[in-house]
Each structure stands twice: as structure tokens, then as C-alpha cells.
Amino acid sequence: MAIIQYTLKRLLLMIPTFFLVMIIIFLLVRFLPGDPAIAIAGDRASDADLAAIRERLGLNQPLLVQFWLFVTNTLQGDLGRSILMRAPVTDIIFDRLPTTIFLTVYAVSLSLLIAGPLAFVAALNRNKWPDAVIRTVFQVGLSMPVFYIGLILLTFLAAQLRWFPVGGYGDTFIERLHHLFLPAVTVALYTSAIIMRNLRSAIIEVLDAEYVQFARAKGLPDRLVLGRHVLRNALISTVTLLGLSIGNLMSGTLVTETVFAVPGVGRLMLEAIFARDYPLIQGLTLTFAVLVSVVFLLTDLFQSTLDPRMRLT
């Protein structure tokens, strides 16, 4: 019951956050250099045409009026019409969003699959060769830009070996796993490096904790000592980091989806920015804000199920 109360409280707290996000989005887009009317009508459009377009988009109204319209429409689920796609922004986003969510969940799962076991191997062999090898490889992974790793993978695994498609997005679940493998791995390499490093040091710290010594002194089998006593405690700090990384990862989809031609909201965002498609940029930014908030909420909920001491606050 406490968890439901906590969730409701957290959801209420999101309201002011989103109001603030909407102000920032609105102002940012307005102060971006460039004129959407020119973007729509082209460089050679007459002043009359441009004025007509501005009239239609409501761009010549006072800022406060524009903001009021933005807020009220958004609350009704109306994010306006995309200038670029000539369709409702809400429809476009909902069309593209599942792809990005799929990619993100995929990448996070891969990160955990890679980072978890390796962190354990590294921590248990601390300062011996397996630890050194794992840390060095991840160090290299961390210091290379995501798009560069992506391009290398594309060149070898997709273009030359033809193990994976160069781009696109399949229809069935299995096809999607196959199509999105390279982008997911690209993102996962980076994220797992961060998670692995954090989890490794957390495990090392917890291994020396008195309660782990006590668990050993009780004669528990290793699997219980590590799985129940060490991992759970080590996860606490890592879960926070994972939440933050997923936030990062969301904005990272801008690059990944572009490099791998994945039709998700990340690539859509880039297109919208180039086209100065105000309504679409606004809608997408809001979408990202919602997604990140949800991830943070889930992170905190998971934390509080892990750690009983956090449930009271």
C-alpha cells in the first residue's frame, strides 16, 4: 500500500515538472535561429506568402497567446500539425514511438546481459588478469564515440559479412530483434561499460562488507552469498546509474537511429530540427521528457523494492 501512495505522490510531483518543461520547450523553439515560414515556403517565397504562412501557424500572435494555445492544446492531446509531414504530431509520434521504446529496452537488456556477468568476473578476480582484460576492453569502448562504433559494426557485420541488415525495421518480433541488433549493441557497448564499471566497484565494496563476511561465516553456499547478499546490495547504486543512463540513451537515439536508419522518434527529431518543424519539435521534446520521467519513476520504485530503508521516505 505504501508503494501505491508513493507512486501517486511521485506522479503528482510530475505536474510542475511538466509545466516547466513546456515553458522551456516553447521558449527554446521560439528562440532557435531560422524562420519556419521560410523553411516551409522556401527561400524564394514572397513576403505575402510568408505572412500567410505565419498567420496560419499563429506565429504572428503574441508569445503569451501562443503559449496558452500550446498548453491547452497539449493537455487535450493535440500537439498541432507537423509542418514537414502535414499530419497531426500526436499521430506521427505514436506511430514512431514503439520503435524507439523497443530499441531502448533492447539496448538496456543487452547492456545488463553484458555488464552483469562481466562485472562479477572482474570484481571476483580483482586486479588479476581477467579484471584487467575486461576493464581495458570497456575503456576502449567508452572512449570511442557511439556513432563511430556504429559505423564500424555496420561496415563489417552488415555491409561485408551481411549478417545483419544495414537499416530498417522488421515486422515480427524476431525480425525486429535481428534488424535492431546492431543499433542496440552499439548503444549497449557504451551503456554496459558505464554499468560494468559501477557494478564492479560496488561489488568489490560489498564483498568486503561485514554482513557478507557474516553470511560466509554462516556457511551459506557461494551462490547465495553472491546472489542474495552481494548482488542485491551492489545493485542499489547501479540502479540509479542505470536510470540516468537510460535517460542519456534516449537522447542518444538521435544519433543511433540516424546512423542505422531506424524509423524511430530519435531520427524524427533530427529531421524535425532541420526542417524547423516547431510543432513536431515541441511534441517530440515533450515525449522525451515524459519518457525520461517515467524511467526515473520506475528506477525509484525499483530502488524502494530493493531497499527497505527507502520505503519509509
Partner 1 sequence: MSDTQPILEVENLCTTFTRGGVALPAVRDVSFNVGKGEVLGLVGESGSGKSVTLRSILGLSRRYGDVTGSVKWMGQDIAQMPERKLRHIRGRDIAMIFQEPMTSLNPLLTVGLQLTETLKAHTDMGRAARRDRAIEMLDHVGIPAAASRLNEYPHQFSGGMRQRVMIAIALAASPKLLLADEPTTALDVTIQAQILDLILSLADELEMGVILVTHDLGVVAQTCKRAAVMYAGRVVEQGDVRQVLRAPRHPYTVGLMRSVPQDVPPRSQLYTVPGTPPSLEALPQGCAFAPRCQGRTEGCLVARPPLEAIAQGRSVACFNPVIDAQGAAA
Angle between helices 89-124 and 232-259 (to 10 degrees): 130
CA distances from 195 to 22, 143, 153 (A): 31, 15, 21
Indicate which single residue of 30, 56, 128, 228 sits in contact with partner 1 (rule: CB under 8 A). Answer: 228
Smallest distance from partner 1 to CB 123, Å: 12
Give whichever of 127 and 172 is closer to partner 1, judged by the CB atom: 127
Indicate which single residue of 213, 227, 251, 294 sits in contact with partner 1 (rule: CB under 8 A). Answer: 213
Q: How far apart are CA 164 and CA 261, in angstroms?
A: 13
**Burial class of 215 by CB neighbour count within 10 A (0 to 12, 13 to 18, 19+):** middle
Give whichever of 136 and 213 is closer to partner 1, judged by the CB atom: 213
Give the range of 30-38, 91-99, 241-249, 300-308 binding partner 1 by CB under 8 A. 300-308
> In the range 192-211, which residues lie near partner 1 by CB under 8 A?
209-211
Smallest distance from partner 1 to CB 5, Å: 19
Which amino acid is it at 57?
Answer: L
Give whichever of 67 and 302 is closer to partner 1, judged by the CB atom: 302
Smallest distance from partner 1 to CB 146, Å: 34
| Cβ atoms within 10 Å, residue 189 | 23
Smallest distance from partner 1 to CB 87, Å: 50
Smallest distance from partner 1 to CB 128, Å: 12
Give whichever of 77 and 308 is closer to partner 1, judged by the CB atom: 308
| Cβ atoms within 10 Å, residue 228 | 12
Smallest distance from partner 1 to CB 313, Å: 12
Angle between helices 232-259 and 146-153 (to 10 degrees): 70
Q: Applying CB under 8 A, does 222 fall inside the site for partner 1?
A: yes
Q: Applying CB under 8 A, does 27 fall inside the site for partner 1?
A: no
Tell me which long-range contacts 24-29 makes (C-beta under 8 A, separation of at least 24): 25/281, 25/282, 25/285, 25/286, 25/289, 26/66, 26/67, 26/70, 26/282, 28/285, 29/278, 29/281, 29/282
Q: Applying CB under 8 A, does 56 fall inside the site for partner 1?
A: no
Instruction: Enumerate binding residues for partner 1 (CB under 8 A).
Output: 209-222, 224, 228-229, 232-233, 236, 306-309
